[in-house]
Structure 1
Amino acid sequence: MSLSDKISNKAEDLGGKAKEAAGNLTGDDSLRAEGKADQVESGLKNAVENVKDAVEDTVDKVKNAFKK
């Protein structure tokens, strides 16, 4: 995962937490739900990026094994 992806995902997560907190303070269920959804989306993006990184690492290991 690139640094810019990590920063973007973290910003989305923090924005979601802020929306959720604001929704809790104001009693706005829609804002609270939007904040939770932003956090879930950020978590899914992180999970996908982690899987991509793991696959790339595995591919690199296999390539290196055949070079020997």
Structure 2
Amino acid sequence: MSIAAIGALVIGEAEEAADRARTGIKALSSLVPKTAILLDAQGQQRQVLATALLFLIIAHC
């Protein structure tokens, strides 16, 4: 993707390069899981929002 974007910039297609980059980023972000399974200290599993994992990690540091 980077090589294609640089090539587009070189030939004057900056708009196309930006569109391709946006499309690629959206495609990658769609692969991110919404939930995760968290194991607590007792070995119990619970489902949490994946975005909450960062806050849980920070809280335990």
TM normalised by structure 1 equals 0.45
Indicate the structure (1 or 2) with the bigger Cα radius of gyration.
2
TM normalised by structure 2 equals 0.49
